[in-house]
Structure 1
Amino acid sequence: MEPPLSYPFNRFDGLELSERYAQALSRTGLTRITLPFDGDAWLATRYEDVRLVLSDRRFSRAEATQRERVPRAFPRVAGGIVIMDPPELTRLRKLALQAFTVRRVEGLRPHVREVADGLIDDMLRRGAPADLVADYALPIPMSVICELLGVPLADQPRFKIWNDSLLSTNALSAEETQQNLGELSHYIMALIDERRARPRDDLISAMIQARDQDDRLSQGELVLLCIAILVAGYEGVSSHIPNFLYTLLSRPDTLDRLRSDPDRMADAVEELLRLIPLASAAMFVHFAREDVQVGDTLVRAGEAVFASVGAANRDPHRFHQPDHLDIDRDASGHFAFGHGMHHCIGAGLARVELQEALGVLLRRLPEIHLCGEIEWKTKTFFRGPRRMPVAW
């Protein structure tokens, strides 16, 4: 057997998929990896293998909470709903989806467009250059999530501090992270108490009312769901807005076509989600509850498996010429929002935000271009620019 490969593979200074993933994809079985924290594991990269690991109940994420030593790529293991297993996970998702409806998500589209237009107005008023991250990408999802949850505008800066701490990969900030998590939890609990007394037309009020027969979400479950929505929605969308523009600027033919045919925006967003490997590494460890055949590899009971979404989205057995950006491609079936029991409940909202943010940007600033060096994030799960100077 070949020695395990050192993991993670991806670099932070860019959006390329590491060549090591391509090598792993060329194999018929799983790849053995060694991680910075607590040992070895298997890595699934091929589309069918990743789909199996993400959806098969013979694999458990919750097992990570029961073990003292867990293989992981980063200092801390994620918590909350993202590492639950059925039936607890199934119950929470069913109740949450009653509140997270298509109507509620689509109802936020005008708000996203209004926020984006307002930010462009501010950029034009100040004049070039601007930082696309601070001046555009970060404020949009923060405003949308606060609107969704009913958080007052004045409290948005506090949410950013809490979110940045929760997504940090810096091992030295664990104590500070726990403090911020506690502050965020108490803040959300106060919101929940206020909504119980005076319901509004927002997600928290809707989740409080959601029920399955006599079963409702508990206070703790509501807090976990709100934190998951904040962390995944804010950081994922704010990273992908500059990622999308950066990718399109390197493909001027596609960019010109999208400018001239904005009706292709929804398809373009799906293809960009598929193409760009957002995560710096596979984040969640899955433990086999029993022996499971994954492709040509027999995973023994108790062994750990990581599933690389970024690699699976570039599997040539699933997507023709997977390294090519093709907005005419049927990119449905990509794993950018996960799959199966852990498919992101906020995927619809993220799509609305990305479609509107990119659409407004290209409509209002058709000549937008880079005007300086990009500063890349280096200590967070999601890759992307920390600073992206642009002019128009």
Structure 2
Amino acid sequence: MTDGEQVLRLPMPSDSPLEPPAEWEGLRRRCPVATVELPSGDRAKLLTRYDDVKALLSDPRFSRPNAADGAARIAPRGAGGPAADGDGALNLPDKGEPHQRWRRQVGKYFTARRMTALRPGMTRTAEDLVDAMVAHGQPGDLKAAVGFPLPVYVICDILGVPATDRDRFSHWSDAFLNVTRYTGEQSAASQAEFMEYLSAHIAATREHPGDDLISMLIKESEGEGEGLSDTELLGTAMGLLVAGHETTANMIGKMVAMLLAHRDRWERLLADPALVRTAVEEALRFDTNLGFGMRRYLTEDVEVGGETLPGGTTVVCSMPAANRDEDAFTGADEMDLTRSPNPHLTFGAGPHSCLGQALARTELQIVLEVLLRKLPGLELAVPAEELQLIEGLLVGGLTTVPVRW
């Protein structure tokens, strides 16, 4: 396949929501740098090989696209949301020392020690949610009953905002991340509401600080060290509320669906619960629905896969396609619950790798541990082929995960 022969449209369809598009294997072998058309009609280059994706994501010269620079847009003109077009909606530093300073400040909160301290509380919350799902009767929707509320409760606790506002957060993050459901005006209005809400929360936290992340960042900004500006504080809170619940909520549903779609996987974990950690990593690698991929805007000419890409090119890095690369993973199309090491790219790589990945891993592990212990007979209530993907969502997810036990 060459660019002159075919232009692929993103997102690529697949026969099943849990299976990869048929084109991936051919792209990796014959056309590792392919031309694709985004829902906006703009064109970009798609990378599908592990080494190419990792190299570009790790390159500190390039960052997320900005529509003002002429980068390719994902959303059609007039559609939402702000994050889809890389217009700097979060107002966070994205390159160089300012970006590293921001990561140092926020990363202090997401340490292994803190995740260990949070684990008992997360486990109790997960147990309560599973119990409530069971009490409500079957079949249940695992995503709505457990997958969505757990990350919301956790990230709200971390930021010091009331989890009772979780439905508002859900709407705001959906408007922020869905590129087809809302108009540009609707997304802009939601973003304004979101910013007003969090600005008021930050102001209240200044008056009455606690032991949450926002309080910690405010104290540091008022001290002698390098602190965050008010704009950075607001962008941090917005980003963590969106990414801290939307991505993990969807991954919980996809992980459980993948494990239940083939009963032998679930039975393997029941027989050996010590495999939970490697099973979580393998689910992260095996997930085919991470949305539209991570975009990078080239500010200078770069050689990728034997092809020179000129400055001004928007590149879409397909982490899930890279995670199925046989050159990086033996038996890449098989879900191996014992796979170790497992250097998947689901959380990205380099200076922009996911800051909250330790938190996401902890939540995924806890959900799996609780479900194995409380609901060993858990199974999908519909065939895996009947599961439905959320249309237009940047991070990829299933609409529902119907289960019985």
Q: Could you say which TM-score interval applies, normalised by the shorter chain?
A: over 0.9
Q: Trace 1:109-258 onto structure 2 (pairs within 5 A).
A: 109-170=119-180, 172-210=182-220, 214-258=225-269
| 1:65 CA displacement | 4.4
Q: Cα gap change, 1:34/1:82 in structure 2, threshold over 3 Å: closer, same or farther?
A: farther
Give the Cα separation in 2 of the matches to 1:83 and 1:283: 17
Cα shift readout 1:7-62 (whole Å, capped 9, x = no counterpart): 21433861222111211111364122233325322211111111111111333435
Q: Cα gap change, 1:35/1:152 in structure 2, threshold over 3 Å: closer, same or farther?
A: closer
Q: Which residue of 1 aligns with 2:85?
A: 77
Secondary structure at the residue paired with 1:385?
coil
Give the Cα separation in 2 of the matches to 1:187 and 1:155: 10
Q: Cα gap change, 1:17/1:70 in structure 2, threshold over 3 Å: closer, same or farther?
A: same
Cα shift readout 1:198-234 (whole Å, capped 9, x = no counterpart): 2211111122234696421011101111111111121
- Structure 2, unaligned runs of 5 or more: 77-83
Give the Cα separation in 2 of the matches to 1:355 and 1:182: 35
Q: Which residue of 1 aligns with 2:116?
A: 106
Secondary structure at the residue paired with 2:308?
strand
- Tell me, yes or no, if structure 1 residue 91 matches structure 2 residue 101: yes
- Tell me, yes or no, if structure 1 residue 330 matches structure 2 residue 340: yes
Asked if the contact 2:48–2:322 (Cα under 8 Å) also holds between the matched residues in 1, the reply is yes
- Tell me, yes or no, if structure 1 residue 389 matches structure 2 residue 402: yes
Give the Cα separation in 1 of the matches to 2:317 and 2:160: 35
Give the Cα separation in 1 of the matches to 2:260 and 2:341: 21
Give the Cα separation in 2 of the matches to 1:6 and 1:387: 28
Aligned counterpart for 1:263 among listed residues 270, 274, 281: 274
- Tell me, yes or no, if structure 1 residue 364 matches structure 2 residue 366: no
Please tell me the residue identity of whatever aligns with 2:71: V
- Tell me, yes or no, if structure 1 residue 36 matches structure 2 residue 42: no
Asked if the contact 1:370–1:391 (Cα under 8 Å) also holds between the matched residues in 2, the reply is yes
| 1:70 CA displacement | 2.6
Q: Cα gap change, 1:39/1:379 in structure 2, threshold over 3 Å: closer, same or farther?
A: closer
Secondary structure at the residue paired with 1:108?
helix
| 1:186 CA displacement | 1.6
| 1:375 CA displacement | 4.0
Give the Cα separation in 2 of the matches to 1:139 and 1:36: 30
Q: What TM-score, normalized to structure 1? A: 0.92
Q: Cα gap change, 1:61/1:164 in structure 2, threshold over 3 Å: closer, same or farther?
A: closer
Asked if the contact 2:298–2:314 (Cα under 8 Å) also holds between the matched residues in 1, the reply is yes
Secondary structure at the residue paired with 1:100?
coil
Secondary structure at the residue paired with 2:183?
helix
Asked if the contact 2:259–2:265 (Cα under 8 Å) also holds between the matched residues in 1, the reply is yes
Q: Which residue of 2 aligns with 1:378?
A: 391
- Out of 75-84 and 128-137, give the one that drifted further: 75-84
Q: Cα gap change, 1:376/1:41 in structure 2, threshold over 3 Å: closer, same or farther?
A: closer
Q: What TM-score, normalized to structure 2? A: 0.90
Indicate the RMSD between aligned Cα atoms, in angstroms. 2.1
Please tell me the residue identity of whatever aligns with 1:380: L
Please tell me the residue identity of whatever aligns with 2:137: G
Give the Cα separation in 1 of the matches to 2:397 and 2:311: 36
Q: Cα gap change, 1:82/1:261 in structure 2, threshold over 3 Å: closer, same or farther?
A: farther
| Number of residues of Structure 1 aligned to a counterpart in Structure 2 | 389
| 1:308 CA displacement | 0.8
